[in-house]
Amino acid sequence: MKKAMKLQTKLTLLIITVVFVSISIIIFFVASWMTENIESKARTNIMNVAEMVAHSREIVDALEVKDPDKKIGPYVNMQLKSLEQVEYIIVADMEEVRYSHPNPEMIGKRFVGGDEYRVLRKGETYISEATGTLGKSLRAFTPIYDSENKREIGFVSVGTLTHSIETAKHTAILYIILIGFGGLAAGIIGAFLLANNIKNTLLGLEPEEITKLYNEKMGILYAIHEGLIAVDHRGRITLINDSALTILHLKNRINKKDIIGKNVEDVIPNTRMVTVLETGESEFEKEQRINNTIIMTNRIPIMNRGKVVGAIASFRDKTEVTKMAEELTGVKKMAWSLRAQNHEFMNKLHTISGLIQLEEYNEALQFISDTAKNRNNISNILTENIKDSSVSALLLSKYNKAEECRVKLKIDENSKLTKLPEYMTPEEIVSVLGNLIENSLDEVKNDGTGLIYVKIVEGENFLNIIVKDNGAGIPVEYREKIYEQGFSTKDGQRGHGMYIVKKIIDDFNGTINFDVDEGANWNIIIPMTRR
């Protein structure tokens, strides 16, 4: 199968072709104009000189008396010195005898060429092309009249060699071609730069790939179980999926096409999407009642160059969310973490959808690229090194939550977990990891400087779990109490997390230690076999 030409190559060739054709046309017309102008200028010049000489008092007076003092030759030579593009000036009488010539030996001899008939017999002023003693030339003829302007006494022939005119034409054409090549070179460089810029803007994707990506994303958006609504800057609905209609109990009451273009407040009277458009602030995990249905919703503004150009809302039936959480393993924190992961993923999809709906394709592609790069390492670690799906899910959900909290969660790339310690359930190790990471998330700053490090080392005899953070650490007065049930330094919490962690580790004859060094450093060792 013939390989399709890349977009960058197509653009480059197209631009080069357009530049080449344009420059070729320009060169053709300019060259034609220049050559015509050179010849026209030469004709005008020699005719002006011929008339000037023919009306010169010195020439008329000398020619009337046959120039006994030889004044015509020196006069003509003096004039030639100040003239450009004039090869010769010949003054002759009515018998065609020359009184001036570039070659002194020709003075006194008859005029040669055969094109002087009109000026001698008819007294005409004209330009002709003929071959004389100096070669082929373009020459102007004009009659010379006596001082009373009644009788023709001779004529003036002013000429320039045809060779000189052709040389001037060729020189002009050469300059034009050189300028054209310069323009073509600049066009080729510009074509490469423009094509490369377009390629970078499109993240190196070909049109077919962009189309495929767009179709896939649109398929995902309409296939997801969460409701999704996008509005423009005026609050008009630009996108709504089937799940949204189902959750809002509108699927059998209204056609989806009829909703597009309507104000969102006409469809959802108590929506806060207009508020998000006005404030430009996101809202996450907000509870809302619509048509006797309680939903959990996220609302995100869509920004373009610092301006709010739209908003995205995603939501799910709270009843369904609660049911799903109860159907999980029973570890509530894991359930909420997984849900946070789901919402984080959906938020990114919604952002992509909103950008596409607003035809900000370049911004959408850049957002996809940045997200893919950020997730590549974590995905590789979790899929290749962490074989337990519950642990992978927990780590991924905590990673997403950390991103939302502007905290960097780093999972060591050498982490490995292919099997759990004997008799240990996924729920138990999830509880250990989840509580430690959650505590670190509460302790580190959410200003972008927070850092949490996690490493899981699977040995032949022991499983080692390391969790570090750069938070404030554990005050000395609390270090002896952190494993007590009900002890907590945070309002509204009952302090069961570390108690559960310690109990699980003790049940498996493991050890848990910590030290404080620019944060809390936890080190857990669990035997792979239970004695």
| Per-residue pLDDT tens over the stretch 430-461 | 888 988 888 888 888 888 788 999 999 998 89
| Architecture per CATH, 1-201 | 2-Layer Sandwich (3.30)
pLDDT computed for residue 63 by the predictor: 87
Separation CA 194–CA 186 (nearest Å): 12
CATH 3.30.70.1560 for the 385-531 domain, yes or no:
no
pLDDT computed for residue 155 by the predictor: 93
CB 57 within 8 A of CB 146: no
Task: Identify the band that residue 507 occupies on the pLDDT scale cut at 50, 70 and 90.
Answer: confident
In this structure, is the dihedral angle defined by the CA atoms of residues 363, 368, 369 and 370, taken in order, positive or negative? Answer: positive
Lowest mean pLDDT across 24-33, 237-246, 480-489: 480-489
332-357 and 426-443 helices cross at what angle (nearest 10)? Answer: 70
Separation CA 365–CA 379 (nearest Å): 20
pLDDT computed for residue 219 by the predictor: 74
For residue 250, give both structure tokens.
């509108």
- HSE-CB for 138 with a 13 A CA cutoff: 18
Residue 33, pLDDT above cutoff 50: yes
For range 343-350, the mean pLDDT: 63
Lowest mean pLDDT across 106-120, 332-346, 389-403: 332-346
Q: Are strands 293-304 and 283-290 parallel, antiparallel or unpaired?
A: antiparallel
β-strand partners of 302: 310
Separation CA 185–CA 443 (nearest Å): 61
What is the per-residue burial (b if ≥16 Cβ within 10 Å, else e) of 310-344? bbbbbbbbbeebeeebeebeebebbbbbbbbbbbb
- HSE-CB for 135 with a 13 A CA cutoff: 6
Comparing 271 with 365, the larger pLDDT belongs to 271
Q: Residue 48, exposed/middle/buried by CB under 10 A (0-12, 13-18, 19+)?
A: middle
Q: Which amino acid does the sequence have at 236? A: R
Whole-prediction pTM = 0.36
* Tens-digit pLDDT profile for residues 35-49: 788 788 888 888 888
Structural domain boundaries of the chain? 1-201, 385-531
Residue 326, pLDDT above cutoff 60: no
